[in-house]
Copies of this chain bind each other. A is one copy, B any other.
Amino acid sequence: MTPLHKLSTKFSSPPTPSLNSNARCQWFAAAALVATTLAITSAAAEPLKISDFTLKNGLELVVIPDHRAPVVTHMIWYKVGSADETPGISGLAHFLEHLMFKGTAKNPTGHFSRVVATIGGQENAFTSNDYTAFYQRVPSEQLKTVMEFEADRMSGLQLTDAVVLPERNVILEEWNQRVGNNPRARLGEQIDAALFLNHPYGRPVIGWRQEMEQLNRDEALDFYRRFYGPNGAVVVIAGDVEPEQALKFAEETYGTAKRNDLIKPRHRPQEPPPVAVRSLTLADARVEQPFLQRTYLVPSFGTAQKGESEALEVLAHVLGSGSSSRLYRTLAVDKPVAVMAAAGYDSSALDMSKFTVYGSPRPGVALPQFEAEIDAVIADVIAKGVSADELERAKSRLIADATYAQDNQATMARWYGAALMTGASVQDVQRWPDRIRAVTAEQVQDAARKWLDKRRSVTGYLIKDTSPQVEKRS
């Protein structure tokens, strides 16, 4: 059991209850914060100087300086996630993340984790549709040590059935806890499956349970050999280290790894143009409060036309971020028909992404009425756009919120890593605040009109199952 790395696995229950099963949104939030920070810092003080190197074997190294304390956060990101799995073998990317803790010839099971713990460090790992990442936060002088460990398990992983099979029980138990016993996660799983008709984002990151039950050693090693290697990896180091020093360590550790020629550019099956308005209802005896989630298929930063993704970020903020947002104000305060109502957009995905609106009606308000109220708020934004005041507040707030992010080394490392895994560059991240500042009210209205089209969406209803003899199917 390596309890640490499974706790922050990417598809964990999200902070916002609806954006589950694929928690890329979490990254996005972090991303926005950090990117903005950079610009703010650059106005107020010395610009944050981020170094970006590529070793001969293809490994990319990003170094983010932070000298406030003698600590570094070291992350290695692999360009492989659940969307890269072979159909029928779902959950393998995440399973392999777990198995990466099972040791090599040089460092047997548990040794790496023990060393990190001994030096007072922290470690973790997470998997998303688009990437798998491992990280350690350690005293600066231990940086090279963890790089040696990571470089070793990049190609030296050894697996036996004796370690693989018990770990399979661990991920199955994880499924029970996170999906089987979590109706909102279940709802999110079903919405994703209905939203994506062809793209593998419709597949849960943790996997379909019946396929997880069959995962095995050979498949895991096969996947490992196909996707892991220096040319499929980005190392992000944030903290108290000089770039040249980090580069020297990288060359001495990762630099000796051989390029993996099996690693290819990722081309996933794409979506057909969406044409049908979809909905689904999940009834569960454990639901205490009905819940509605509508998810629209929208572009990510990487697939959007210039400015569209930024407009969607502002739109999500105006529509559904916080107590002064349109949805909350109208539905939870003015009317009030909602206990809660919000919206979110995830700009970070290698392929297309999602815009989500969600909420819970007050007791006595039926879901269809609640949905009609949500529709009216959306229709109003489409018809009349957002006010100059709303626009400015949203942009300022997005940028102001970001100021606080520079405080967190790991957040910075995560944002750059996630961006580089999904087709963006270090420069893209650094220009984020300027891109947000450039968004116009017209662009926000256009984005609402173009993308918040119900034919692009799935609406999920989570209701209490009150039937006395429900056949349990999960």
> Which one, A135-143, A192-200, A440-448, is touching chain B?
A192-200
Indicate with 1 or 0, residue by residue over A271-286, a CB within 8 angstroms of chain B CB atoms: 0111111111111000
Q: A279-B278, A280-B278, A280-B279 are in contact. Are A198 and B273 (CB under 8 A)?
A: no
Taking a contact as CB atoms under 8 Å apart, the answer to whether B269 and A88 are in contact is: yes
B-facing residues in A226-283 (Cβ within 8 Å): 267-270, 272-283
Taking a contact as CB atoms under 8 Å apart, the answer to whether A90 and B198 are in contact is: yes
Q: Does A168 contact B (CB under 8 A)?
A: no
Give the chain B neighbours of A87 by CB distance below 8 A. 87, 198, 200, 269
- Please give me the residue from chain B that is nearest to A282 by CB atom: B276
B-facing residues in A160-201 (Cβ within 8 Å): 186-187, 190, 193-194, 197-198, 200
**Among B202, B283, B455, contact of A473 (Cβ-Cβ < 8 Å):** B455
- Please give me the residue from chain B that is nearest to A273 by CB atom: B473
Looking at the assembled complex, report how far the CB atom of A283 sits from the nearest CB atom of chain B, in whole angstroms: 8
Q: Does A389 contact B (CB under 8 A)?
A: no
- Please give me the residue from chain B that is nearest to A268 by CB atom: B88
B-facing residues in A190-224 (Cβ within 8 Å): 190, 193-194, 197-198, 200, 202-203, 208-211
- Please give me the residue from chain B that is nearest to A275 by CB atom: B473
Q: How distant is the Cα of A210 from the Cα of B267 in the complex, in angstroms?
A: 14
Indicate with 1 or 0, residue by residue over A394-409, a CB within 8 angstroms of chain B CB atoms: 0000000000000000
Q: How distant is the Cα of A283 from the Cα of B278 in the complex, in angstroms?
A: 12
Looking at the assembled complex, report how far the CB atom of A197 sits from the nearest CB atom of chain B, in whole angstroms: 4
Give the chain B neighbours of A280 by CB distance below 8 A. 276-279
Give the chain B neighbours of A460 by CB distance below 8 A. 276
Give the chain B neighbours of A208 by CB distance below 8 A. 197-198, 269, 272
Q: How distant is the Cα of A90 from the Cα of B471 in the complex, in angstroms?
A: 36
Q: How distant is the Cα of A218 from the Cα of B339 in the complex, in angstroms?
A: 57
- Please give me the residue from chain B that is nearest to A270 by CB atom: B210
Give the chain B neighbours of A279 by CB distance below 8 A. 278-280
Q: Does A118 contact B (CB under 8 A)?
A: no
**Among B197, B200, B474, contact of A193 (Cβ-Cβ < 8 Å):** B197
Q: Does A453 contact B (CB under 8 A)?
A: yes
Q: A88-B267, A269-B211, A279-B280 are in contact. Are A274 and B198 (CB under 8 A)?
A: no
Q: How distant is the Cα of A202 from the Cα of B193 in the complex, in angstroms?
A: 11
Taking a contact as CB atoms under 8 Å apart, the answer to whether A278 and B203 are in contact is: no
Q: How distant is the Cα of A200 from the Cα of B281 in the complex, in angstroms?
A: 23
Q: A87-B87, A278-B278, A278-B280 are in contact. Are A272 and B210 (CB under 8 A)?
A: yes
Taking a contact as CB atoms under 8 Å apart, the answer to whether B88 and A275 are in contact is: no
Give the chain B neighbours of A186 by CB distance below 8 A. 275
Looking at the assembled complex, report how far the CB atom of A18 sits from the nearest CB atom of chain B, in whole angstroms: 15
Give the chain B neighbours of A203 by CB distance below 8 A. 198
Looking at the assembled complex, report how far the CB atom of A165 sits from the nearest CB atom of chain B, in whole angstroms: 21
Q: How distant is the Cα of A87 from the Cα of B208 in the complex, in angstroms?
A: 17
Q: How distant is the Cα of A471 from the Cα of B450 in the complex, in angstroms?
A: 10
Give the chain B neighbours of A270 by CB distance below 8 A. 88, 210-211
Q: Which of A88, A187, A209, A278 is packed against the most chain B CB atoms within 10 Å?
A: A278
Give the chain B neighbours of A202 by CB distance below 8 A. 197
Q: A87-B269, A88-B268, A88-B269 are in contact. Are A274 and B197 (CB under 8 A)?
A: no
Q: A87-B87, A279-B280, A280-B278 are in contact. Are A273 and B197 (CB under 8 A)?
A: no
Q: List 22 A-B contacts (CB under 8 A).
A: A87-B198, A87-B269, A90-B198, A193-B198, A197-B208, A198-B203, A198-B208, A208-B269, A208-B272, A210-B270, A211-B269, A211-B270, A273-B474, A274-B473, A275-B282, A276-B280, A276-B281, A276-B282, A277-B281, A278-B278, A278-B279, A453-B471
Which 8 A-B residue pairings sit nearest by Cβ, starting from the closest? Answer: A88-B269, A193-B197, A276-B280, A190-B276, A273-B473, A278-B280, A277-B281, A208-B272
Residue numbers of A with Cβ under 8 A of B are 87-88, 90, 186-187, 190, 193-194, 197-198, 200, 202-203, 208-211, 267-270, 272-283, 453, 455, 460, 471, 473-474
For the complex with contacts A87-B87, A194-B194, A278-B280, 9 further pairs of A-B residues with Cβ separation under 8 Å are: A87-B200, A90-B198, A186-B275, A193-B198, A194-B276, A208-B272, A273-B473, A278-B281, A455-B473
